[in-house]
Amino acid sequence: MKNVRLILSGLSLLLAILFSSCSDPVTEQQTSANKDDAITTTDNSQARLPGPGGGVLMQAFYWDVPAGGNWYDSIKDKIPSWDAAGISAIWLPPVSKAQNGAYSMGYDPADYFDFGDYNQHGSVETRFGNKAELVSLINTAHSYDIDVYADIVLNHNSGGALEPNPYTGTNTYTDFNPASGKFYRSASDFHPNSYATYDEGIFGGFPDLSHSAPYVQDWLWNRADGVGKYYRDSLGFDGWRFDYVKGFGGWVVKEWMNNVGGFAVGEYWDGNAQLLQDWVNATNRTSSAFDFACYYKMDEAFDGNDLTKLQDDMLWKRDAYKSVTFVTNHDTDIIGDKMHAYAYIMTHEGYPTVFYNDFEQWLDKDKLINLIWIHNNKAVGSTSIQYADNDEYIARRNGSPGLIVYLNDSNVWVERWVQTNWSTSSIKDYTGNSNWQPTTQTDKWVKIQCPPNSYSVWSPL
């Protein structure tokens, strides 16, 4: 396509529509109740919001990162470049000693206060390092104004010794004698016990921690030297990613947040946006949730060549401040067309997450950095869907400066007339995928384009 600068005069809307066979806009669909021109929040939905578009989270690990205790140091070395790329927070894997010691990814927690300094469960260090290295990483991140979120596993424990269990009449692996000397546990701290027979879910047959037990509550969130407050005050964590929250009631996260504070996001693994919203509400809106509804709809849209799916229900459309969007994570990686997906989450509402492998190994890092910059500087305000069919999708962010995002899943260049936020303004595609620099009409309409199998993002010069 030639480099053409469109100079649009005061043509009427009818003439503009007739000008191109691809120029029929559809009625816009308002997709968020947020009417603010800039993202602001009075709750703790996002710990930091640098720039008009808000923050971007980096998942700073993947499944089976290299063992050997060097991961914290490896991540610390990346902090300066991640800061330069526009990352505002990082999410670490579970930091405490687990049953499989140096081989564990941390999701089988045994001693919540052993961060790689006690010889138990087959190792001294965790897979990722030791406490001094962890604290050094957190302090380095803070020196760049980057927050650090801990992965918290509250549903289950692993690695206890066998003991007679009076509640089951059998022997169970519920005798926990941590080398740290903190948070001893026995059968009375797991289901069934004298407080509750069961809760919302059991994971993998592991002993199911009973949050109804006052002793457990004290050690998790009440005590000044308990898990939550120790992680906050002594380690320096700023927020929490709660694992497998389907396994316990939303009130558990609410109590943690009311006593400990910070940012929170829960892994409620379900593609039903209503259920995600229900869980957020069950925490008394103290926590965000990963937007699995958005995740699965992006897979249907981009891998299924049906961009109309992007009009469907998602958590960010219901509750933008409580949606953490993502393209892949350490557990699931089903979206093949990832660049379209990143273009979507970086230009729409929600708190977008970048996956370590996508950024450092698999995708074009420069393109991801460009999308992060667009998010941080342009992606402001509520969202209006302007057009959607199998191959094309156009949406507008209505804040200042705002943007127009154009997604094209076809093999040809496409162009379309759209209504913008800007009157008589020169605009450009900030991805560089199109070199047009058109000027909007006085009525804010303009013609934009998108390359084959690509995306463009338009905003004033």
Per-residue pLDDT tens over the stretch 149-173: 999 999 999 999 999 999 999 999 9
Tell me the C-alpha distance between 238 and 208, whole Å.
Answer: 27
Written as six digits, the tokens of 386 are 């302007």
- 347 within domain boundaries: no
Establish whether 267 is a catalytic residue: yes
Establish whether 163 is a catalytic residue: no
3 is in an annotated binding site: no
Catalytic residue among 267, 291, 358, 392: 267
Q: What is the mean pLDDT of residues 395-423?
A: 98
Q: In CATH, what number is assigned to the domain containing residue 114? A: 3.20.20.80
Q: What is the mean pLDDT of residues 325-333?
A: 98
Q: What pLDDT is attached to residue 53?
A: 80
Q: Is the pLDDT of residue 4 over 50?
A: no
| Count of residues in the chain | 461
Q: Which residues, in sequence order, are CB contacts of 77 under 8 Å at separation 6+?
A: none
- 380 within domain boundaries: no
Catalytic residue among 243, 291, 337, 349: 243
- 77 within domain boundaries: yes
Q: Is the pLDDT of residue 8 over 60?
A: no
- 89 within domain boundaries: yes
Q: Is the pLDDT of residue 10 over 50?
A: no
Written as six digits, the tokens of 168 are 């089951």
Per-residue pLDDT tens over the stretch 256-292: 999 999 999 999 999 999 999 999 999 999 999 999 9
Count of domains forming the chain:
1
Tell me the C-alpha distance between 422 and 400, whole Å.
Answer: 10
pTM of the model: 0.91
- 18 within domain boundaries: no
Q: What pLDDT is attached to residue 52?
A: 73
Q: What pLDDT is attached to residue 42?
A: 31
Q: What is the mean pLDDT of residues 15-33?
A: 43
- 458 within domain boundaries: no
- 25 within domain boundaries: no
Q: What pLDDT is attached to residue 96?
A: 98
Tell me the C-alpha distance between 230 and 193, whole Å.
Answer: 27
- 286 within domain boundaries: yes
- pLDDT top residue among 20 and 378: 378
Averaged pLDDT of the chain: 91
Domain range for 236: 43-290
- pLDDT top residue among 260 and 9: 260
Confidence of residue 191 (pLDDT cuts 50, 70, 90): very high
